[in-house]
Amino acid sequence: MKTRLSINGETHEIDADARTTLLDALRHHIGLTGTKKGCDHGQCGACTVIVDGRRVNSCLTLACMHDGAQITTVEGLGSPGALSPMQAAFLAQDGFQCGYCTPGQICSATAMLEEIRAGWPSHVSVDLEAPARLSVEEISERMSGNLCRCACYPNIVEAITRVGEAETVAEAAE
């Protein structure tokens, strides 16, 4: 099946079996290996990418379902010479050990901050009508779909907190 995918601002046409997951299309058909295959059951979050602004477990969705969608992988968030704020924060806060889950964590955290900015409540939001607040509880709940076997959670939460606070300060200055 021919599918046109817009990934990190570039269009890629693949000819793959209709059952090809987005994860396998990214890794095997396009050569973007930043997105990792962890459990292959949508339980670990290592394969998280951003599709049209929303977090998606790429192992649970078919590539052909995203024809024309805007897909962002960890490679599209920044580059070695120009890290995204979240990538830089993970590095500065030592938010990883083995690094296997890190691409999914960074994609998830980036999209999660957009959810908070948009006012989307979570399971732990106290007031569903009030703007969502950046807190350890909110971050932990919203990131609960991303597992880290090295248990770097405190550093991951700190990295997300720093980026979220910096964005809040920048918005207030505008």
Q: What is the pLDDT of residues 39-87, one digit of tens each?
A: 999 999 999 999 999 999 999 999 999 999 999 999 999 999 999 999 9
Report which of residues 17 and 132 the model is more confident about: 17
Q: Give the chain's radius of gyration (CA, Å).
A: 16
Given a cut of 80, whether residue 142 has pLDDT beyond it is yes
pTM: 0.94
pLDDT of residue 174: 77
- Say how far apart CA 91 and CA 78 lie, in whole Å: 13
Going from the C-alpha of 154 to that of each of 49, 131, 145, the distances in angstroms are 22, 24, 16
Contact predicate 90/50, CB 8 Å: no
Q: Quick one: which of 134, 84, 79 has its CA closest to 112?
A: 134
Given a cut of 80, whether residue 169 has pLDDT beyond it is no
Asked which of 15-24, 68-77, 129-138 is least confident by mean pLDDT, the reply is 129-138
Complete DSSP assignment for 96-144:
-SS-SSHHHHHHHHHHHHHHHHTT---TT-S-SSSPP---HHHHHHHTT
Given a cut of 80, whether residue 170 has pLDDT beyond it is no
- Say how far apart CA 28 and CA 61 lie, in whole Å: 15
- Say how far apart CA 128 and CA 137 lie, in whole Å: 15
Given a cut of 80, whether residue 171 has pLDDT beyond it is no
Identify the structural domains of the chain with CATH numbers, from first to last.
Answer: 2-76 (3.10.20.30), 85-172 (1.10.150.120)
Chain-centre distance of CA 166, in angstroms?
A: 19
Q: Quick one: which of 20, 46, 158, 151 has its CA closest to 103?
A: 46
